[in-house]
Structure formats: structure tokens, C-alpha cells
Amino acid sequence: MRRSASPLSLILLGIGVFLLVLGPMLAWYVEPRAKRTPIDVDQTTVFNGTGTYFDQSSVRTRDNEPLTITRRVMGNVAESERNGVAVWDVSTTIDTETTLKRRDPRKSLQWTTERWVSDRETNRPVHCCGETPKKIQGEAYLKFPFGVEERDYRWWDSTLGDAVTVKYDKRVKVKGYEGMRFTATVEATRTGSRQVPGALLGVERPQVMAEEWYENGGIELVVDEATGRILRAKIAPKLTLRAPGGAEKGAVTLLESGGIVFDDKTQEAQVKQAKADSKKLRTVGTTAPVASGAAGTALALAGGVLLIRGRREE
């Protein structure tokens, strides 16, 4: 009698070994490379709330008025690929009901443009590619790093022009989806100066260099653990102009709100994208490797058994 291996045993053994190798490759090689900040992002987030603002046209403060903050983020793919980083161009407008109808950022209550550049793996700032502002720092911006932990993070506050420590609070649900909540406040801080009529601040001079002050009564960020995507954001900013010397007496409120938060449409979109991206990461990092390992073991064992038994021939 002579033993020979059957084709089926070799096929099963080969596929089994391939799957056994594939599992670790997905978990240790593919998944880490899937955790990269996207460069082709095109995202618009909208905050809604009510508050006080200074109406320059009528030179008076308006109270309890609707306010809208719109942030548009466009990934600069060519610049990102050229430098191996994530380059995002950011446009942010603050609108009243009147300026929102004009649909022109130049006519908004406030319009700022920035370029944020970050390491695609760590989410930390990279100083290149014409980034603005130049001193941006921290580890969380429009998103947190992948694999968010229950610890404090440094979050970049563009209005402050500095990073703020946001503290982990607890896990909460946004549209039925679990996220991790981080909170912070910003004490009144001088952020700059501008020339204004002295009469605006009760100063008997034609023009004065007024001090710009900023504070935030409550920053709340709810973040997806796997992807670092911000599911819901809420801020309570206050911007004022003070006379030289920082005296609060006679200060003019430029903008103040007790709470401006992601609108429902933005929250739903953020949750939907977080679910999809988290599922992809789980598939590559856990589901597929486990399934591949289980199937590979079964097929390799089956192939090995058939190979050992062989096929008897006369």
C-alpha cells in the first residue's frame, strides 16, 4: 500500500494556514494603519443657541437673540499627501438671524479662517504647510485621538488662542449612542486689543486701545471612544471689550451665550459617521481576526487530518 495526499487535504490546509496568518496581520498591521485621521474630509457642523451680541449697525447691545455658529472643514488632499500629514482648512462664522440670511461669510457677525495641520496617527499639531495659527497646540481639535481614554486632554480653543484642559466626566448617550463626556471652563483672559471710539467705553478720548477679553462658562464635548469624533459640543462663550487697564466697569459685551450646542442634524450626522467608522475598526481589529483565526484553525485541522489519513491506493 502507498499513501498519497489528497488535493482536498492540501487545499484545506493551505487555506487554513493562510487564514491563521491573515488574522494577526489584520489586528497588528492593518488596524493600526486604519487609525489615521482622514485627509479627504468635507464636514459642516452647526451650533445653535441664544445670547447677547453687539450690533454695530445700531451701536447697541441686543439681548436674547438667536445665534448660529457654522464651521466648514475641507481636507486639502494634495497638501496632505505631499507632506504625509492631515491638512484641514477651517472656516468658522458666527451669525445672527439677519446675517445668516445673507449666506455670505464676509457679512457675518464674525468670520475666521484657519489651517489646522496634525499628525494623522497621534492627532498632535504639525508645524508646516502654512498652518494658522502658528502656535496651535494640544492633542484634540475638531476630533480627539483614536482610542479615547478616561483621562484629561488638551483641547485647542481658537478663541482663547491656547489649549484648555478638558476633564473626563462620565459616559453619556447622544441620540442613543454612547460617548465620553469631557468638560472645562475658561476664566476671563485677555486675548488681544483693538482701537475703538473712547465714548463706547465711557472714556473721554476720541480713540482708545480697548482690551479684548474672553471667557467660557462651560465647554462640554461628548466624544466617540473608538474614533475620537465629537458627537456633541456645547460652549458658553463671553467676549467683551474693556477700557485700557482691564476695568470691567463700562465693558461692552460683544458676544455672550449661556449655551450654544450642536443642532440635531449635526448630532445625527456625527453619530452616524462614528457608528460606521467604529464598525470598520472593530471589523479589522477584532471581528475579522477572530473569525479568520477560528476558520483557519478549523480548516487547518481538517486538512491535517485528511493529509495524515491520506488516500490509499493499490
Residue 50, pLDDT score:
96
Residue 19, pLDDT score:
41
**Pairing label, strands 237-243, 247-256:** antiparallel
Query: pLDDT class for 292, splitting at 50, 70, 90?
Result: low
Instruction: State how far the Cα of 58 lies from the Cα of 102, in Å rounded to an integer.
Output: 18
20-29, 167-176, 299-308: which is most confident = 167-176
Confirm whether pTM is higher than 0.85.
Answer: no
User: What amino acid is encoded at 194 in this protein?
Assistant: R
pLDDT tens for each residue of 196-253: 888 888 887 889 899 999 999 999 999 999 999 999 999 999 999 998 887 777 789 9
* pLDDT of residue 32 exceeding 60: no
Query: pLDDT class for 57, splitting at 50, 70, 90?
Result: confident
Instruction: State how far the Cα of 141 lies from the Cα of 138, in Å rounded to an integer.
Output: 8
Query: pLDDT class for 287, splitting at 50, 70, 90?
Result: low
Domain ranges of the chain: 2-30+284-313, 31-280
**Residues 6 or more apart whose Cβ sits within 8 Å of residue 102:** none
Q: Which has the higher per-residue pLDDT, 68 or 284?
A: 68
* pLDDT of residue 1 exceeding 90: no
Residue 3, pLDDT score:
53
- Angle, alpha carbons 243-213-92 (nearest 5°): 130
With a pLDDT cut of 70, the percent of the chain lying above it is: 78
